[in-house]
C-alpha cells in the first residue's frame, strides 16, 4: 500500500493556514468580541423581525410577513430552506471561522482551488488567491452588510474550475466539482452574482465550441457539455425551493412586467431602465481598477487633510473640507471603488501579450464584456440590447455589480503571466511585433499601467475633468439664473478641483510605485539576481500590502462595535411605545420621520406601510408612486388600515397621530366599481370611499357572477386570530356579502377558507383581497400555503442527498484507488 506523503500536502496546508491568519489579522477586532454593524444588516434585522420572532416561537417558517409594504412573501427576506443539505457542506468550507473571517477565507480558498486546476504552482497559487480575495469591492460589500453577495462571490472561482476540468475531459471530477460548487453558489442566495457568473461561463462554452469546430473534434465538446448540463440541473434541483419561489414571486415584483401602459419607453419585461441603470459605472471611472481613488473613493466630505487641501485658496479651505464631496463620479453615491490592484493590473496586461491559448481570449472577452456592461446608462446601446433581449438581465439593478466578473478574470491572467515568467525566465526577453516594430511585452505592460499612472500623476488636468456632470450642470444653471452667485460657485468648485486633483495624483503615484517595485522584483528574477522563491514571496507581499491598505480605507477597525450595540439595532421612541400599547393584533403604521420606502426601522416594531427591500410587489410600488408618494391619499391609507401616523413635531421628535378613519382589518362594501384595466383601477383610487366601494378589474367578473352587493348594517366581521401566515375572522351576516380584507393580494400561496372549505378570493382596490361570504355565522380563514415551498423542500432534500452521496462516493473511490495503486515498498 502507498503511504501518504506529508510533503505532498504541505503546500496546501500552509495555504489554508496563511488564508486563515491573514483574514484573522485583518479582522482582529472579532477576537475581542466585537462585531460589524453594517447598515444593511441593521436593515435586515428590521425587515426580518416578525419572521424571526415567529420562527423562534413556533419552530415553523411563516413564509410571509406583514411588517413591510403592507405584506409580502418572506422568500427574499428570511426563509430557512432546511431541505437543502448543502448547508452542512457550506459550514465545512467555513471551517467554523467567525464572521466575517470566513467570508474572506472563502474568497481565497475558492480562487486557490481554481488556480490549482489551472496547474499553477501551489505556492504561486497563494499569491493569486490573495490578489483575488483582497479586491476592494469584496471588502466594501462586507462593510455594507451584503452577506449573500459576498457568499456567492466566494464560490464563483471553484465553479469555473469545475467547468474547466470538464472541458479538459475530466468528466467525472469536473462534473462533480461543478455540481458541488454550483449547488453552494446557488445556496448562497444571490441570483444576480450567479447570473453574471453564468454569463462568463457561457462565453467559456462558446470558446470551447469554436475550438471544437476549428479542430473538427465535436464529441469531447458534446460529452463535456452534456455532463455540465446534468450538473447544472442537479445543482438547481438541490436549490429548487429558493429558486422556484424567487422565480414565481419575481413575476409579481418590480422585477416583473407591469400591467400599466405608461412610460413604455422606460419599460422592460423586468425593472424599468432608469431604475436598473441607476448605479452605472462611469467609462472613465473604470480607471479605478488601476488607481483606487481615480474618482475620489467613497462618497463623503473631503476632510481636513493638509496634503489634499494643498493649493486650495484659504478662503475656501474650510468649506471645501467640510462640504465638498470627495467622490466626483456620476453614480448617485458609492461606498468605494472597484480596485483590482495596481500590480495585478500590470501582470494582467503582461499576460495579454505573453500568455497563449484560448483561455486568455475567454478571460479577455469576459473582462471586456463585464466592463462595458458595468457602464450601464453611459453605454446604452449595449445595455439596452441586454435589457431588451437577454433573458433575465432586466431583473437586476446596479449594473456596476457585473464588475465582479472582471475582478475574477483579471487575477487569473495575472497569475498565469507570472507563472510563465517564473517557469521560463527566457520569455522575459521574447519580443512581439506591433505595427512591424519588435516590442518587449514586459516594458509594454509596464508602460500601459505604471507609465500611464505616472503620466496621470504629472498631468492630471490634461486627461480628466474633476467635476461630476451634475456639478457642471449646477454651475451652468446658476451662472444663467444668478451670475453673481454663479461666479462664486464656479470659484468654489475650482478649489474643489484642486483638492480632487491632489487625491487623484496621490493614488496615481502610489500605483506607479507599486508597479515599479513589482516590476523590479520580476526583472531581478529574470536576470538571475533573485531566487524564484524570493520573487514569489516579494510579489505576494507587495500585492498584499497594496490591496490591504486600500481595503482598510473602507473596512477597518472603526467599522466594528461592541456586541451589545448590534443586538439592539433600533432604539424604541416614545412614539413606538405609545403605538405598542394598542393590543389590536393587526394594523399598519406610516412613519413620516424617515423615508417610508427606504426604511426598515419601523418594521422592527410595527407593521409598516413602507419598508426596505429591492424586490417589493410591483402593484404595491405603483400604488405608492401614484397615490402616496407626491400626494398622501387618505382613502388609500385608510384601506391599508393605517391606524397610526408617526410624524416629526417642531423639535423634530417623533409624535403619533392616530387615524380614526382607518377601515380596520375587514369590512363589507355596498357597491362595486368595475374597471377595464390596471390604469383605470389605479386611477379610480384617487376619488373613492373604500368602506363603501370596491374597485375591481373586469377580469374578476366571472368570480362574482350572480352576486349583487347589499347593505346590511347589522353584518359583522372581526379578526379574532393573527399570525403572519394564518388569519382568522369571525363573520355574522344576514345576506351574502362581499368582504374586503386589508391584506395584500398575492395569488401564489394564499388560500381562503369558509368553515374549513376552500373558497375563491379575488383582488380589489389594486392591492387588497376580497371574497363573497355567504349569509350566516362563519369562520373565515386565510392561510399562506405556497406549493412552491412544500413541494420544493421535498425535491431539494432528495437532490441534495444525492449530491452528497455522489461526492462522498467519489472521494471514497479516489482514496481507495490512491492506496491501492502500488504495493508498499
Segment 342-394, tens digit of pLDDT: 999 999 999 999 999 999 999 999 999 999 999 999 999 999 999 999 999 99
**How many other β-carbons are positioned within 10 Å of the β-carbon of residue 474?**
15
- Min mean pLDDT across 136-140, 287-291, 410-414, 580-584 is at 580-584
Joined together, the cell numbers standing for residue 709 give 352587493
Q: Spell out the alpha helix ranges (H) of 59-121.
A: 86-94, 101-117
φ, ψ of residue 298 to 5 degrees: the values are -80, 155
**Geometric angle at alpha carbon 368, from 365 and 374, rounded to 5°:** 135
- Nearest C-alpha neighbor of 83 from the set 791, 823, 824: 791
Radius of gyration of the chain measured on its C-alpha atoms:
30
Pairwise CA distance, residues 489 & 249, whole Å: 49
Residues 6+ apart with CB under 8 A from 210: 358
Q: Which residue has the higher pLDDT, 581 or 8?
A: 581
User: Helix, strand, coil: what percent of the chain each, to 5?
Assistant: 55, 10, 30
Buried residues in 351-385 as b, exposed as e (16+ CB within 10 A): bbbbbeeebbebbbbbbebbbbbbbbbbbeeebee
Residue 536: is its pLDDT beyond 60? yes
Averaged confidence pLDDT in the chain:
93
- Min mean pLDDT across 3-7, 87-91, 133-137, 706-710 is at 3-7
Residue 548: is its pLDDT beyond 70? yes
732 pairs with which residues across the strands? 716, 777
pLDDT digit string, tens, across residues 129-174 = 999 999 999 999 999 989 999 999 999 999 999 999 999 999 999 9
- Nearest C-alpha neighbor of 79 from the set 793, 803, 600, 690: 793
Say if residue 154 is exposed, middle or buried (CB neighbours under 10 Å; 0-12, 13-18, 19+).
buried
* Percent of residues, the chain, with pLDDT higher than 90: 80
Q: Phi/psi zone of residue 662: left (φ > 0), alpha (ψ -120 to 50 degrees), beta?
A: beta
Joined together, the cell numbers standing for residue 621 give 410600488
pLDDT digit string, tens, across residues 456-479 = 999 998 888 899 988 899 888 888
Residue 824: is its pLDDT beyond 60? no
Pairwise CA distance, residues 89 & 187, whole Å: 11
φ, ψ of residue 405 to 5 degrees: the values are -70, -45
- Strands 757-759, 750-754: pairing kind: antiparallel
Q: Are 336 and 288 in contact (CB under 8 A)?
A: no
Say if residue 809 is exposed, middle or buried (CB neighbours under 10 Å; 0-12, 13-18, 19+).
exposed
For residue 586, the 8-state DSSP code is: S
Span 91-101, mean pLDDT? 95
Pairwise CA distance, residues 589 & 783, whole Å: 23
Residues 6+ apart with CB under 8 A from 793: 81, 82, 83, 241
Span 48-64, mean pLDDT? 95
Q: Are 370 and 409 in contact (CB under 8 A)?
A: yes
Joined together, the cell numbers standing for residue 685 give 383610487
- Nearest C-alpha neighbor of 642 from the set 69, 46, 29, 44: 69
The count of residues in the chain is: 825
Residue 58: is its pLDDT beyond 70? yes
Span 268-275, mean pLDDT? 82
In SS3 terms, 439-496 reads as: ECHHHHHHHHHHHHHHHHHHCHHHCCCCCCHHHHHHHHHHHHHCHHHHHHHHHHHHHH
**Geometric angle at alpha carbon 90, from 801 and 96, rounded to 5°:** 130
Instruction: Kindly list the distances between the CA atom of residue 797 and the CA atoms of 83, 84, 297, 298, in Å, as whole numbers in the listed order.
Output: 4, 5, 45, 43
Residue 822: is its pLDDT beyond 60? no
Residue 761: is its pLDDT beyond 60? yes
Span 269-295, mean pLDDT? 92
756: helix, coil or strand?
coil
- Nearest C-alpha neighbor of 764 from the set 619, 629, 664, 587: 619
Instruction: Kindly list the distances between the CA atom of residue 752 and the CA atoms of 325, 726, 741, 756, 772, in Å, as whole numbers in the listed order.
Output: 54, 10, 11, 9, 11
| pLDDT confidence tier of residue 435, bands split at 50, 70 and 90 | confident
Q: Are 602 and 52 in contact (CB under 8 A)?
A: no
Residue 144: in which H helix or E strand, if any? helix 136-144
Span 548-574, mean pLDDT? 88
Q: Are 54 and 74 in contact (CB under 8 A)?
A: no
φ, ψ of residue 87 to 5 degrees: the values are -60, -30
Pairwise CA distance, residues 142 & 560, whole Å: 12
Pairwise CA distance, residues 96 & 106, whole Å: 12
Pairwise CA distance, residues 153 & 189, whole Å: 11
Q: What is the pLDDT of residue 478?
A: 87
Span 732-743, mean pLDDT? 95
Buried residues in 712-738 as b, exposed as e (16+ CB within 10 A): beebebebeeebbbebbbebebebbbb
Residue 259: is its pLDDT beyond 70? yes
Pairwise CA distance, residues 201 & 188, whole Å: 18
Residue 755: is its pLDDT beyond 70? yes
pTM, two decimals, is 0.92
Q: What is the signed CA dihedral for 556, 559, 560, 561, rounded to 10 degrees?
A: 150
- Min mean pLDDT across 123-132, 510-519, 710-719 is at 710-719
Residue 701: is its pLDDT beyond 50? yes
- Nearest C-alpha neighbor of 589 from the set 605, 577, 570: 605
Q: What is the pLDDT of residue 432?
A: 83
Q: Are 295 and 456 in contact (CB under 8 A)?
A: no
Residue 263: is its pLDDT beyond 70? no
Q: What is the pLDDT of residue 3?
A: 55
* Percent of residues, the chain, with pLDDT higher than 70: 98
| pLDDT confidence tier of residue 779, bands split at 50, 70 and 90 | very high
Pairwise CA distance, residues 295 & 513, whole Å: 19
Residues 6+ apart with CB under 8 A from 492: 316, 319, 320
Say if residue 57 is exposed, middle or buried (CB neighbours under 10 Å; 0-12, 13-18, 19+).
exposed
Q: What is the pLDDT of residue 1?
A: 41
Residue 107: is its pLDDT beyond 80? yes
Pairwise CA distance, residues 558 & 143, whole Å: 11
Amino acid at each position: 500500500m502507498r503511504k501518504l506523503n506529508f510533503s505532498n500536502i504541505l503546500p496546501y496546508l500552509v495555504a489554508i493556514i496563511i488564508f486563515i491568519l491573514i483574514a484573522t489579522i485583518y479582522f482582529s477586532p472579532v477576537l475581542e468580541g466585537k462585531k460589524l454593524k453594517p447598515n444593511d444588516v441593521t436593515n435586515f434585522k428590521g425587515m426580518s423581525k416578525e419572521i424571526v420572532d415567529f420562527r423562534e416561537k413556533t419552530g415553523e417558517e411563516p413564509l410571509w410577513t406583514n411588517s413591510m409594504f403592507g405584506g409580502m412573501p418572506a422568500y427574499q427576506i428570511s426563509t430557512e430552506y432546511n431541505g437543502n443539505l448543502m448547508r452542512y457542506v457550506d459550514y465545512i468550507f467555513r471551517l467554523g471561522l467567525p464572521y466575517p473571517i470566513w467570508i474572506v477565507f472563502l474568497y481565497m480558498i475558492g480562487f486557490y482551488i481554481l488556480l490549482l486546476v489551472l496547474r499553477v504552482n501551489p505556492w504561486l497559487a497563494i499569491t493569486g488567491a490573495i490578489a483575488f480575495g483582497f479586491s476592494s469591492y469584496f471588502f466594501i460589500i462586507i462593510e455594507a452588510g451584503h452577506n449573500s453577495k459576498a457568499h456567492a462571490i466566494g464560490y464563483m472561482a471553484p465553479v469555473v474550475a469545475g467547468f474547466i476540468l470538464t472541458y479538459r475531459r475530466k468528466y467525472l471530477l469536473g462534473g462533480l466539482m461543478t455540481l458541488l460548487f454550483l449547488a453552494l453558489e446557488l445556496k448562497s442566495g444571490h441570483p444576480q452574482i450567479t447570473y453574471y457568473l453564468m454569463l462568463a461561463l457561457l462565453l467559456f462554452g462558446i470558446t470551447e465550441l469554436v475550438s471544437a469546430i476549428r479542430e473538427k473534434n465535436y464529441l469531447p465538446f458534446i460529452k463535456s457539455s452534456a455532463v455540465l448540463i446534468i450538473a447544472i440541473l442537479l445543482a438547481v434541483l438541490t436549490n429548487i425551493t429558493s429558486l422556484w419561489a424567487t422565480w414565481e414571486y419575481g413575476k409579481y415584483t418590480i422585477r416583473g412586467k407591469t400591467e400599466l401602459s405608461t412610460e413604455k419607453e422606460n419599460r422592460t419585461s423586468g425593472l424599468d431602465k432608469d431604475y436598473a441603470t441607476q448605479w452605472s459605472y462611469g467609462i472613465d471611472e473604470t480607471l479605478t481598477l488601476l488607481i483606487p481613488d481615480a474618482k475620489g473613493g467613497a462618497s463623503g466630505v473631503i476632510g481636513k487633510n493638509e496634503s489634499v487641501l494643498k493649493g486650495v485658496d484659504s478662503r475656501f479651505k474650510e468649506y471645501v473640507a467640510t462640504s465638498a464631496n470627495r467622490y466626483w463620479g456620476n453614480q448617485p453615491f458609492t461606498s468605494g471603488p472597484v480596485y483590482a490592484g495596481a500590480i495585478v493590473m500590470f501582470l494582467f496586461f503582461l499576460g495579454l501579450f505573453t500568455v497563449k491559448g484560448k483561455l486568455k481570449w475567454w478571460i479577455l472577452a469576459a473582462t471586456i464584456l463585464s466592463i462595458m456592461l458595468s457602464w450601464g446608462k453611459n453605454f446604452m446601446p449595449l445595455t439596452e440590447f441586454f435589457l431588451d433581449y437577454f433573458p433575465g438581465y432586466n431583473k437586476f439593478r446596479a449594473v456596476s455589480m457585473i464588475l465582479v466578473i472582471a475582478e475574477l478574470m483579471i487575477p487569473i491572467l495575472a497569475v498565469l503571466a507570472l507563472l510563465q515568467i517564473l517557469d521560463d525566465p527566457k520569455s522575459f526577453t521574447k519580443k512581439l511585433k506591433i505595427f512591424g516594430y519588435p516590442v518587449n511585452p514586459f516594458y509594454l505592460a509596464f508602460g500601459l499601467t505604471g507609465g500611464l499612472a505616472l503620466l496621470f500623476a504629472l498631468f492630471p488636468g490634461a486627461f480628466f475633468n474633476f467635476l461630476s456632470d451634475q456639478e457642471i450642470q449646477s454651475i451652468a444653471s446658476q451662472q444663467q439664473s444668478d451670475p453673481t452667485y454663479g461666479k462664486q460657485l464656479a470659484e468654489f468648485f475650482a478649489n474643489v478641483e484642486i483638492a480632487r486633483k491632489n487625491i487623484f495624483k496621490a493614488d496615481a503615484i502610489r500605483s506607479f510605485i507599486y508597479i515599479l517595485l513589482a516590476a523590479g522584483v520580476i526583472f531581478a528574477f529574470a536576470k538571475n539576481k533573485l531566487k524564484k522563491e524570493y520573487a514569489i514571496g516579494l510579489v505576494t507581499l507587495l500585492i498584499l500590502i497594496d490591496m490591504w491598505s486600500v481595503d482598510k480605507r473602507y473596512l477597518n477597525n472603526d467599522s466594528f462595535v461592541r456586541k451589545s450595540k448590534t443586538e439592539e439595532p433600533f432604539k424604541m421612541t416614545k412614539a413606538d411605545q405609545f403605538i405598542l400599547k394598542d393590543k389590536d393584533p393587526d394594523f399598519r403604521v406610516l412613519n413620516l420621520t424617515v423615508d417610508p420606502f427606504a426604511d426598515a426601522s419601523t418594521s422592527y416594531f410595527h407593521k409598516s406601510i413602507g419598508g426596505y427591500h429591492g424586490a417589493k410587489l410591483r402593484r404595491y410600488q405603483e400604488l405608492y408612486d401614484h397615490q402616496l408618494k407626491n400626494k398622501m391619499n387618505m382613502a388609500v391609507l385608510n384601506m391599508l388600515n393605517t391606524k397610526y401616523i408617526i410624524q416629526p413635531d417642531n423639535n423634530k421628535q417623533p409624535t403619533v397621530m392616530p387615524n380614526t378613519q382607518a377601515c380596520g382589518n375587514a369590512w363589507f362594501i355596498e357597491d362595486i366599481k368595475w374597471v377595464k384595466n390596471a390604469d383605470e383601477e389605479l386611477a379610480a383610487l384617487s376619488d373613492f370611499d373604500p368602506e363603501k366601494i370596491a374597485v375591481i378589474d373586469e377580469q374578476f367578473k366571472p368570480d362574482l357572477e350572480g352576486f349583487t352587493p347589499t347593505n346590511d348594517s347589522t353584518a359583522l366581521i372581526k379578526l379574532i386570530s393573527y399570525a403572519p401566515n394564518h388569519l382568522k375572522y369571525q363573520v355574522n351576516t344576514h345576506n351574502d356579502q362581499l368582504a374586503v380584507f386589508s391584506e395584500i393580494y398575492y395569488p401564489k400561496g394564499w388560500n381562503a377558507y369558509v368553515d374549513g372549505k376552500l373558497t375563491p378570493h379575488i383582488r380589489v382596490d389594486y392591492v387588497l383581497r376580497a371574497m363573497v361570504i355567504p349569509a350566516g355565522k362563519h369562520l373565515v380563514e386565510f392561510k399562506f400555503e405556497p406549493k412552491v415551498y412544500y413541494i420544493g423542500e421535498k425535491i431539494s432534500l432528495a437532490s441534495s442527498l444525492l449530491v452528497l452521496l455522489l461526492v462522498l462516493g467519489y472521494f471514497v473511490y479516489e482514496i481507495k484507488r490512491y492506496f491501492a495503486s502500488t504495493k508498499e515498498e
